[in-house]
Amino acid sequence: MESPARPRRVTIVDVARHAQVSTTAVSKVLRNAYGASPQMRAKVRRAIDELGYRPHAGARGLRGQTYTIGVMLPDIRNPFFPEILDGVTASLTDTEYQVLLGPGCNGEKEEARVTEAMIDRGMDGIILVAPVSPRAHLERVGSAVPTVVVGRHGSSPAYDTVADDDIEGAALVVGHLAGLGHRRIAHIEHHETDPTRLMEMPNARRADGYRLAMRAHGLEEWIDVVSTSYTQEGGYRGTQELLARPARDRPTAVFAGADIVAMGVLEAVGEAGLTVPGDLSVAGYDNTTFAAFGPISLTSVDQAGREMGRNAVRLLLERIVDHGRPSTKVILSPTLMPRRSTARPSN
């Protein structure tokens, strides 16, 4: 028995005939080019919808644009990164651009593989979220295709950047806890050794901000940093280390460098038979959706993830139009969201 014939792909010629316009007019509408009246655009759009026409990405690439934007996310399990993605997709709703995701897996080799694949497939622009790659690799990517780096400090003529003021965010947490009367405030950071990443990554900036704020509040002698990882497991292990100390040496509050880390802190505290905030106040960073969830009610820093995504799209579209314009650096101001996980120390 013969297999059924594969349906023929609808072409731009079919759209033109259906709309009773020229193929040039259809092309103008598809490219959002000057010279097509509102009535013409409406007729062509209606024909496209009725026929189910889909532009061929490869052919569009040969003409200069594929209308695809690649977004590299370092860890799909971290609930903050979807906040950035929401801002990206919302900003592209009324455009022809399609977002394609690639997992960076928090590794240099994986990031290189993803970004090179995006370049090879002719994507019009790339948004890299909290990349760990060396500056040289980021600049190679930025030289090859319009690029915006989100969640990493530093700057380069090769790409634009969007980041949160992480030092200020850490100061907000320490100031909040100190204002409640805490002195023994510990911080769980992401372990880092690379010199460039120590200057540019948010985790390093937050740890610096914690130390600066502790000194500013006269709490230098109680500076207490535990290095693990920005994961739930990292928060769990860090808290176990803190709780293994004699009671007099334990902190009364913990500043977790990310909400995902704070989840591990809460897990370890509960496992030890202690309570939050009765025995230990806990604050996070990112203000992810679960932070406001009633049973958790986590004090956290809102670094406006959606606003980061919106700014990244704005800068990227500007650079797609003008590759040679000077690079731009956007720094957003964080806000503290106090909730029930922090209170005055019990002792």
- The 10s digit of each residue's pLDDT in 79-136 is 899 999 999 999 998 888 999 999 888 788 999 999 999 988 889 999 999 999 999 9
For position 61, what pLDDT does the model report?
Answer: 46
Query: From the CB of residue 257, how many other CB atoms can be counted at a distance below 10 Å?
Result: 32
How is residue 283 written in tokens?
A: 């604050």
| Neighbouring residues of 28: CB distance < 8 A, sequence distance ≥ 6 | 34, 35, 36, 40
Q: Is the pLDDT of residue 141 over 80?
A: yes
Q: Is 134 helix (H, G, I), strand (E, B) or coil?
A: coil
The whole-number average pLDDT for the span 165-184 is 98
Q: Which of 54-68, 105-119, 264-278 has the highest mean pLDDT?
A: 264-278
pLDDT at 147: 96
Q: With CA atoms as reference, report the closest residue to 299 among 261, 337, 335, 267.
A: 337
| Bridge partner list, 299 | 283
Q: Please check the confidence at residue 335 and state whether its pLDDT lies above 60.
A: yes
- Residue 53: pLDDT band with limits 50, 70, 90: confident
What is 272-302 written as a DSSP string?
TT--TTTT-EEE-SS--GGGGSTTT--BEEE
Q: How far is CA 139 from CA 136, 177, 189, in A?
A: 5, 40, 27
Residue 8's pLDDT band, with cuts at 50, 70 and 90, is low
